[in-house]
Copies of this chain bind each other. A is one copy, B any other.
């Protein structure tokens, strides 16, 4: 079995080709912006090769399909669709969050303005639906194609519901850890779950196997996000590529922060709540105070324990699936990487 990078890169060129094929015939400007977003061209639409992201979701989809059928090829349209949906949400999220950079480069809206970038996102999203219903023109029955479309549509409803919560949590004082985890499942986990399940549905898995893949995916998604929260505060800047003060400075309400806000009492509680009610970013001294409070609450351990619970549920579900071949082992390896990674 190849190492983790080998597994993560295994299908990348096939996925990229499927996305590029889907973009054939798109209006030149829209195609240019999407290619730029993916890192395949520069701002002048000249060929380039920047970082494209890990293509994690389509890889999970293809590994599951491969584990069930012995080949990944026929599921490529839906894998491409899922990666396109993920990137549509990134384009819109960057606009909604006013983020100027992604993957070390200016975001699409920062270059072409919000109106055009919103619309490019809408186009990319639509193209993902086209890729999905085209499954029917190759290998799959109309029924199975529709089931996949239904699955993806439901996950996108969760995705936008999760983004809605995320945007509004910034203005709400009393967010509980349960509310946060519900938001995170919708915003991040739902599409990851749909990626795994579309591989399973197209691979003709029976209901029991689908149930276990669902539990696996849902819990991996949650553990992945909690791990992301931990790395966002305590990760190594050299490895993650982002300052570990960024999330705190922007007052991102991640699991450790929410836990600490809710656990704190007395003067500490007053001070923390005042900091998080203020629209300004945190100063260095304020970041120091939040870090000290996180330590006081033992928030890192709390979050890691939470993640460990998800991890256990995920892998026992995976073990209940009676499939044993290389793709299934690689799926397990990717999942382990996601939840144990240090960057």
A→B interface (CB under 8 Å): 26-27, 29-30, 92, 95-97, 114-116, 118-120, 122-123, 125-127, 129-130, 133, 136, 141-143, 145-146, 149-150, 153-154, 156-157, 160-161, 163-165, 167-168
> Measured between alpha carbons, how far is A143 from B156 in the docked complex, in Å?
23
Pick the contact of A119: B26, B115, B129, B164 (CB < 8 A).
B164
Shortest C-beta distance, A54 to chain B (Å), equals 23
Cα-based distance from A120 to B125 in the complex (angstroms): 15
Nearest opposing residue in chain B for A156, CB measure: B126
- Residue of B with least CB distance to A145: B146
Expressed in whole angstroms, the minimum distance between the Cβ of A258 and any Cβ of chain B is 19
Q: Is B168 in contact with A29, judged by CB distance below 8 angstroms?
A: yes
CB distance from A154 to the nearest CB of B (A): 7
Residue in A114, A127, A160 whose Cβ sees the most chain B Cβ within 10 Å: A160
Contact A161 B96 (CB under 8 A): no
Whether B160 lies near A146 (C-beta < 8 A) is: no
Asked whether, in the complex, the Cβ of A116 is within 8 Å of the Cβ of B156, the reply is no
Q: Which of chain B's residues have a CB closer than 8 A to the CB of A129?
A: 129, 149, 153, 156
**A161: chain B residues within 8 A (beta carbon):** 26-27, 30, 123
Q: Chain B's nearest CB lies how many Å from the CB of A300?
A: 30
A118 touches B143 (CB 8 A): no
The chain B residue sitting closest to A166, CB to CB, is B119
A96-B114, A149-B149 known; A29-B154 Cβ under 8 A:
no
A164 near B30 (CB under 8 angstroms)?
Answer: yes
Known pairs A126-B156, A133-B149, A154-B130; A120 contacts B164 (CB<8 A): yes
CA distance in complex: A26, B168 (Å) = 16
A97 to chain B, nearest CB (A): 7
Could you say which residues of chain B place their CB within 8 Å of the CB of A165?
Answer: 27
Residues of B within 8 A of A118 (CB): 92, 95-96, 118
Structural contact, A167 and B123, CB atoms closer than 8 A: no
Complex contact A157–B142 (CB within 8 A): no
Report yes or no: B29 in contact with A164, Cβ–Cβ below 8 A.
yes
Evaluate whether A136 and B146 lie within 8 angstroms (CB atoms) in the complex, with A115-B97, A118-B118, A164-B120 already known. yes
Q: Contacts A126-B160, A130-B157 given; 12 further ones with Cβ under 8 A?
A: A27-B165, A92-B118, A92-B122, A95-B115, A96-B116, A96-B119, A123-B164, A129-B129, A130-B154, A133-B149, A133-B150, A141-B142
CA distance A118 to B154 in the complex (A): 19
In the complex, which residue of chain B has the Cβ closest to the Cβ of A33?
Answer: B164
Closest-by-CB residue of B relative to A142 is B142
Complex-state Cα separation, A129 to B160, whole angstroms: 14
With a CB–CB cut-off of 8 A, which chain B residues contact A115?
Answer: 95-97, 167
Q: A27-B161, A126-B160, A161-B123 are known contacts. Are A133 and B114 too (CB-CB below 8 A)?
A: no
Q: Which residues of B are found within 8 Å of A133, using beta-carbon distances?
A: 146, 149-150, 153
B123 touches A122 (CB 8 A): no
A92 contact from B119, B130, B160, Cβ within 8 A: B119
Nearest B residue to A136 via CB reads B146
Q: Which residue of B lies closest to A89 (CB)?
A: B122
Report A179 CB to chain B, min CB distance, Å. Answer: 12
